[in-house]
């Protein structure tokens, strides 16, 4: 294939080490016409690529952040743009990664204008659970990679929110109430997603007994939330302060000498249809050494299996039955998509029409485009959480790609005010629609 020869001939160094450091000292005002310095990571658009071209760039270690219709975004500094030019591509400046900060005096426990650190999030979850024992139960569902290595790290927390009756909020798939499960910040640098998950928890707790819709929901449904799947990664992101680090993967650095590009992509590490993504430990989509190799992956999968009954047969073509229950959403950024299974193949999922229908109902709130990987980002993914939740358990599963691809509220690092002003409000209704559908997601 032509691109392989070109890549080999160009001798591009793997790793693209400068891209993910976020270490560039930024001037106060980014130049909208381009990067403010040669070492500032920015978003470049590269057009006219085939799916296999994109896969090659990922395998080489380029940070392919977003794709649509043959155009991809690649994050990196000027040296990365030069590497792309050496391969025959024409990168064009798209947008800055870092947005102007409205708040410069940092609050304790926050970074980049107000985003909460992992420690602050954990303190908040404990506070909510302690103050609301009739509505919440907090679970430790597993350890981060660093914790398994006795190198610090974190527990991974899940909160169950419902009007707790006897037997509710137990980790048993045979529950009286149907369930809506939500996870966020599996990719650490998708920083708005954790904040949205926290607002969802707080909104439900505050609304019980005062808001009819919330009260009805919590009387009939269990809502479970993991606000931060990848706490080690979020610690790395937050360590950059006003210039957050672009860490996507977990903190497992055992697979190779990658400089700042270590880690396993937890959304390529799930056990369902694992193994067709990057084998380069330095790539942003590195799938790990084996299916479910990472403790964060196992924590989430075991948690999903403990909550959702197995409702689907073994064959790819087996539909979940019309009376199946439960909905799962994994929050990612960015692109304003609601993505339905399958991710690993462009064959339609057996419940395709039903998944699209619920996707469209959610889109009435956030306006996001509904479709499969093939319809939206245009590439296949293997070992993703949504394919696992639907494929193994038959849960109606969706990936939200939160936020636009450009501007102050776009990309991985939207200005903090965007969370409160647009990203949370536009998604609150979509999450409510998902939760209300948990009893019968396939019947419309």
Task: Catalogue the long-range contacts made by 83-91 (C-beta closer than 8 Å, 24 or more residues apart).
Answer: 83/12, 83/13, 83/16, 84/44, 84/46, 86/10, 86/12, 87/3, 87/6, 87/7, 87/10, 87/12, 88/6, 89/46, 89/49, 90/46, 90/47, 91/44, 91/45, 91/46
Beta carbon nearer to Zn ion, 222 or 296: 296
Please select the residue that binds Zn ion; options are 262, 332, 366, 435, rule is CB under 5 A. Answer: 332
Strand duo 71-76 + 155-161: pairing = unpaired
User: Residue 424: helix, strand or coil by DSSP?
Assistant: helix
Q: How far is the CB of 66 from Zn ion (least distance, A)?
A: 10
Identify which range of 32-40, 63-71, 300-308, 324-332 contacts Zn ion by CB under 5 A: 324-332
**How long, in residues, is the chain?**
444
Strand duo 369-371 + 327-332: pairing = unpaired
Interacting positions 203-242 with Zn ion (CB under 5 A): none
Beta carbon nearer to Zn ion, 359 or 403: 403
> How many whole angstroms separate alpha carbon 437 and alpha carbon 39?
47
Q: How far is the CB of 309 from Zn ion (least distance, A)?
A: 27
Identify which range of 115-123, 294-302, 331-339, 432-440 contacts Zn ion by CB under 5 A: 331-339
For 340-398, give the DSSP string.
-S-SS-SSPPTTHHHHHHHHHHHHHHH-PEEE-TTTTT-S--SS-HHHHHHHHH--EEE
Q: How far is the CB of 135 from Zn ion (least distance, A)?
A: 30
Identify which range of 36-44, 189-197, 299-307, 319-327 contacts Zn ion by CB under 5 A: 189-197
Identify which range of 197-205, 273-281, 327-335, 340-348 contacts Zn ion by CB under 5 A: 327-335
Strand duo 327-332 + 179-183: pairing = parallel
Q: What one-character DSSP code corresponds to residue 286?
A: B
List the one residue out of 146, 165, 166 whose CA is nearest residue 155.
146
Identify which range of 17-25, 116-124, 190-198, 304-312 contacts Zn ion by CB under 5 A: 190-198
Identify which range of 117-125, 215-223, 332-340, 415-423 contacts Zn ion by CB under 5 A: 332-340
- The verdict on 73 binding Zn ion (CB under 5 A) reads no
Strand order in the sheet with 337-339: 136-143, 155-161, 222-226, 179-183, 327-332, 396-401, 337-339, 369-371
Tokens 């776009």 identify what position? 410
Please select the residue that binds Zn ion; options are 66, 73, 89, 187, rule is CB under 5 A. Answer: 187
Q: How far is the CB of 293 from Zn ion (least distance, A)?
A: 19
User: Diameter of the chain by CA atoms?
Assistant: 66
Centroid of chain to Cα 98: 19
- The site that binds Zn ion (CB under 5 A) totals a number of residues, namely 3
Beta carbon nearer to Zn ion, 187 or 356: 187
Tokens 């107000």 identify what position? 114
Beta carbon nearer to Zn ion, 319 or 378: 378
* Inter-residue contact 43 to 73 (CB < 8 Å): yes
Q: How far is the CB of 410 from Zn ion (least distance, A)?
A: 14
Interacting positions 146-185 with Zn ion (CB under 5 A): none
Packing angle between helix 191-207 and helix 212-220, nearest 10 degrees? 90
Beta carbon nearer to Zn ion, 143 or 190: 190
* Inter-residue contact 68 to 339 (CB < 8 Å): no
Beta carbon nearer to Zn ion, 112 or 442: 112
Hey, what are 412's tokens? 């991985």
Q: 401 catalytic, yes or no?
A: yes
* Inter-residue contact 393 to 312 (CB < 8 Å): yes
Beta carbon nearer to Zn ion, 99 or 332: 332
Beta carbon nearer to Zn ion, 190 or 222: 190
Q: How far is the CB of 86 from Zn ion (least distance, A)?
A: 28
Sign for the CA dihedral angle at 197, 140, 114, 97 comes to: negative
Q: How far is the CB of 185 from Zn ion (least distance, A)?
A: 9
Q: How far is the CB of 189 from Zn ion (least distance, A)?
A: 8
Considering the candidates 56, 294, 392, 401, report the single residue annotated as catalytic: 401
Mind telling me the catalytic residues?
401
Judged by the rule CB under 5 A, the positions of this chain that interact with Zn ion are 187, 190, 332
């Amino acid at each position: 294939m032509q691109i392989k020869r070109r890549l080999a001939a160009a001798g591009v160094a793997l790793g693209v080490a400068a891209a993910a450091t976020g270490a560039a000292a930024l001037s106060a005002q980014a130049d909208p016409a381009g990067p403010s310095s040669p070492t500032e990571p920015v978003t470049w658009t590269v057009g006219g690529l085939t799916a296999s071209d994109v896969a090659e760039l990922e395998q080489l270690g380029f940070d392919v952040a977003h794709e649509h219709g043959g155009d991809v975004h690649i994050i990196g500094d000027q040296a990365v743009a030069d590497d792309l030019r050496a391969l025959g591509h024409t990168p064009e400046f798209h947008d800055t990664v870092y947005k102007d900060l409205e708040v410069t005096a940092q609050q304790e426990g926050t970074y980049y204008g107000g985003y909460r650190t992992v420690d602050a999030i954990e303190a908040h979850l404990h506070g909510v659970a302690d103050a609301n024992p009739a509505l919440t139960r907090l679970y430790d569902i597993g350890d981060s990679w660093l914790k398994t290595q006795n190198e610090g790290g974190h527990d991974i927390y899940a909160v169950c929110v419902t009007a707790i009756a006897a037997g509710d909020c137990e980790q048993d798939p045979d529950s009286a109430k149907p369930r809506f499960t939500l996870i966020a910040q599996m990719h650490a640098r998708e920083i708005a997603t954790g904040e949205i998950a926290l607002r969802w928890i707080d909104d439900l707790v505050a609304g019980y007994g005062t808001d009819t819709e919330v009260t009805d929901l919590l009387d009939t449904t269990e809502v479970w939330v993991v606000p931060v799947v990848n706490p080690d990664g979020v610690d790395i992101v937050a360590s950059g302060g006003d210039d957050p680090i672009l860490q996507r993967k977990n903190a497992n650095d055992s697979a190779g000498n990658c400089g700042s590009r270590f880690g396993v992509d937890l959304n390529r590490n799930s056990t369902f249809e694992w193994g067709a993504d990057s084998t380069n430990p330095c790539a942003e989509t590195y799938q790990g050494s084996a299916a479910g190799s990472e403790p964060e992956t196992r924590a989430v999968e075991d948690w999903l299996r403990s909550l959702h009954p197995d409702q689907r047969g073994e064959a790819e073509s087996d539909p979940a039955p019309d009376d199946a229950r439960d909905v799962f959403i994994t929050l990612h950024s960015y692109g304003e998509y609601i993505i339905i299974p399958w991710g690993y193949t462009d064959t339609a999922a057996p419940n395709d029409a039903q998944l699209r229908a619920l996707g469209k109902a959610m889109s009435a709130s956030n306006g996001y485009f509904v479709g499969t990987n093939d319809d939206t980002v245009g590439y296949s993914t293997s070992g993703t959480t949504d394919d696992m939740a639907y494929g193994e358990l038959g849960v109606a599963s969706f990936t939200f790609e939160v936020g636009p691809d450009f501007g102050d509220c776009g990309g991985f690092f939207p200005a903090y005010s965007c969370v409160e002003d647009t990203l949370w409000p536009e998604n609150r209704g979509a999450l409510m629609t998902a939760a209300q559908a948990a009893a019968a997601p396939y019947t419309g």
